[in-house]
Amino acid sequence: MIRHLVACLVIVAGCSSALPDAAHDAAQDASIDVGNDDAFVAQQDAAVRDAQDVQVDAAVLPKTPGEHEVEFVFGSTKRRFLLAIPQSYDGTKQVPLVFAFHGNNQSALKAAATYGLREEAAKRGWIVIYGDGVVAQGETGGSWNAYSCCSFARVSQSDDVGYVREVLALALGSLQLDKRRVYATGFSNGAMFTHRLGVELGDRFAAIAPVAGCLSGIPAGGTTRSLVGAPVRQVPFLALHGRKDGTVPFDGGKVDVATFDAEAVSVGFWATQNGCNTTPTTSYPQSGIARIVYGGCTSEVQLVATDEGTHTYLQLEKYGASTASYVLDFFQRFELPVP
């Protein structure tokens, strides 16, 4: 059962992991619709509403295994996240933490149910926090304020970076977590936001892995590309993207009212920032999958491109592998440097 925890806190805003061998307005919601299933979201949300409400001291998160929905006030906005603690967690040793961010007009509940991280993280004994984006009145799903996308979060300039910073501080203060092994992954709008976290909170995240989402672009109603500053540090980077993605195209371009960077531009940004060689090495572990790795880096940069991949987090499942497992195996190789 998912337990719904009402946190009494006010924060002032400011398969195998190895690959087998051999958008500013309602129109943007349509252009960045990431497969939202309203019936699914409504059903999942209803299940949480029916769960037992527990008043807790927000300074201390639940420590018992299971999935706990936590609600708190950030600035003047009520926000949520889903905390998934594996059965193996007993608080006697520090474990890694993964943040996962859903797509536009989706929810933490759907991300937990569909990305495969729930099972893969549990195998490793890792904790996962599924963020919940800000939700506009009358909508069922949320969005994230990435550089050029999406929807209500971008239009309202939601302080989502601040939200993540505070959730991380709350988690580190409550659970036995290895603060040098905190990671971020996301899908679509959540992938775009993962890029932003890598740039602005890279000193908190040991590695990032956006899936099917670009770094930046021209937002709906705009005429110029949203600017991206220099990352606070060189962050190990993995991207996965399908060449048949029609929502956030692999090769970039305009979709309805927004224009997106090509994956080559997004990955190239990180290769430049991480001091990599300009020409990557490409291997083909299996027909239909290209692994593109930039060498000579201070921090690794890798892109996995799938010929048959569409707009989904599950890029490798058609090839007999687990996307979530591949992402977590990548994460496992990195930790933040000793201060």
pLDDT for res 138: 83
Q: What pLDDT is attached to residue 78? A: 86
Q: Does the bond joining 149 to the residue before it have cis omega, within 30 degrees of 0?
A: no
- Cα 307 versus chain centre, distance: 22
What SS3 class is residue 13? coil
Q: Judge contact between 270 and 210, C-beta under 8 A.
A: no
Burial class from Cβ neighbours inside 10 Å (0-12, 13-18, 19+) for residue 46 reads exposed
Per-residue pLDDT of the chain (339 residues; tens, 9 = 90+): 455 554 444 333 334 456 654 333 333 333 344 333 444 444 444 444 333 333 344 556 999 999 999 999 888 888 999 999 999 999 999 999 999 999 999 999 999 999 999 999 999 999 999 999 999 888 889 999 999 898 888 888 999 999 999 999 999 999 999 999 999 999 999 999 999 999 999 999 999 999 999 999 988 878 788 889 999 999 999 999 999 999 999 999 998 878 999 999 999 999 999 999 999 999 999 999 999 999 999 999 999 999 999 999 999 999 999 999 999 999 999 999 988
In whole angstroms, what separates CA 228 from the centre of its chain? Answer: 18
The number of helices, as runs of H, and strands, as runs of E, in the chain is 9, 15
Q: Strands 237-242, 253-255: parallel, antiparallel or unpaired by DSSP?
A: unpaired
Which pLDDT score, from 0 to 100, does residue 59 have? 54
CA 81 centroid distance within chain? 13
Q: Which residues have C-beta within 8 Å of that of residue 223, sequence separation ≥ 6?
A: none
Domain ranges of the chain: 3-332
pTM: 0.86
**CATH placement of domain 3-332:** 3.40.50.1820
pLDDT at 60: 67
- Distances in Å between the alpha carbon of 104 and those of 29, 110, 246, 323, 338? 7, 11, 15, 20, 35
H or E element, residue 54: strand 53-56
